[in-house]
Amino acid sequence: MNSFPPGFVFGSATSSYQIEGAVDVDGRGESIWDRFSHTPGKVKGGDNGDIACDHYHRFAEDIALLQKLNVDAYRLSIAWPRILPTGSEATPNAKGLAFYDRIVDGLLEAGITPWVTLYHWDLPQALQDAGGWPSRGIIDPFVHFADVMSRHLGDRVKHWITHNEPWVVATLGYWNGEHAPGIKDPNAALKAAHHILLSHGKAVPVIRANSADSQVGITLNLTPGIPASGSEADRIACQQFDGFFNRWYLDPLHKRGYPADQVAHYEDEGHLPKGLDFVHDGDLETIAVDTDFLGINYYSRAIIRSDKVDEADNAPRTQAVPPPERCTDFGWEVWPDGLYDIMARLHHDYDSGDLVVTENGCAYSTEPDDDGRVKDARRVSYFDSHLRACLRCVTDGIPLTGYFAWSLLDNFEWAEGYEKRFGLTWVDFETGERRPKDSFRFFAEVAKTGTLPTW
Q: Does 47 bind ligand IFM (CB under 6 A)?
A: no
Q: How far is the CB of 107 from ligand IFM (least distance, A)?
A: 20
Site string for ligand IFM, 260-299 (x = CB under 6 A): -------------------------------------x--
> Which long-range contacts does 350-355 make (Cβ < 8 Å, 24+ apart)?
350/250, 350/254, 351/254, 352/254, 352/294, 353/291, 353/292, 353/293, 353/294, 353/399, 354/292, 354/293, 354/294, 354/399, 354/401, 355/293, 355/294, 355/296, 355/393, 355/398, 355/399, 355/400, 355/401
Radius of gyration of the chain (CA): 21
Q: Concatenate the DSSP letters of all residues of 346-370 into one string.
A: IIIII---SEEEEE------PPP-T
Residues 20, 30, 333, 359: which is the catalytic one? Answer: 359
Which residue number, 210 or 246, has a Cβ lying nearer to ligand IFM?
246
Q: Does 413 bind ligand IFM (CB under 6 A)?
A: yes
Catalytic residue list contains 165: yes
Which residue number, 18 or 239, has a Cβ lying nearer to ligand IFM?
18
Q: How far is the CB of 411 from ligand IFM (least distance, A)?
A: 7
Catalytic residue list contains 359: yes
Q: Which of residues 18-37 bind ligand IFM (CB under 6 A)?
A: 18
Size of the site for ligand IFM (CB under 6 A): 8
71 touches 114 (CB < 8 A):
no
What gap in Å lies between CA 371 and CA 441, rounded to an integer? Answer: 17
What gap in Å lies between CA 273 and CA 271, rounded to an integer? Answer: 6
Q: How far is the CB of 320 from ligand IFM (least distance, A)?
A: 24
Q: Does 258 bind ligand IFM (CB under 6 A)?
A: no
Which residue number, 34 or 359, has a Cβ lying nearer to ligand IFM?
359
Which residue, 84, 75, 79, is CA-closest to 56? 79
292 phi, psi to nearest 5 deg: -95, -20
Q: Which of 122, 165, 283, 333 binds ligand IFM (CB under 6 A)?
A: 165
Q: How far is the CB of 151 from ligand IFM (least distance, A)?
A: 26
Amino acid residing at 244: F
Q: Does 359 bind ligand IFM (CB under 6 A)?
A: yes
What gap in Å lies between CA 389 and CA 387, rounded to an integer? Answer: 5
Which residue number, 47 or 413, has a Cβ lying nearer to ligand IFM?
413
Which residue number, 20 or 165, has a Cβ lying nearer to ligand IFM?
165
Q: Which of 145, 364, 403, 406 binds ligand IFM (CB under 6 A)?
A: 406
What gap in Å lies between CA 446 and CA 434, rounded to an integer? Answer: 21
What gap in Å lies between CA 157 and CA 152, rounded to an integer? Answer: 9
Q: Does 122 bind ligand IFM (CB under 6 A)?
A: no
Q: With b meaning 16 or more CB within 10 Å and e meaning fewer, what string describes 163-186? A: bbbbbbbbbbbbbebebbbbbeeb
Q: How far is the CB of 86 from ligand IFM (least distance, A)?
A: 24
Q: Does 333 bind ligand IFM (CB under 6 A)?
A: no
Which residue number, 62 or 413, has a Cβ lying nearer to ligand IFM?
413
Q: How far is the CB of 20 from ligand IFM (least distance, A)?
A: 13
193 touches 170 (CB < 8 A):
yes
Q: Does 15 bind ligand IFM (CB under 6 A)?
A: yes
Enumerate the active-site residues.
Answer: 165, 359
Residues that bind ligand IFM (CB under 6 A): 15, 18, 165, 297, 359, 406, 413, 422
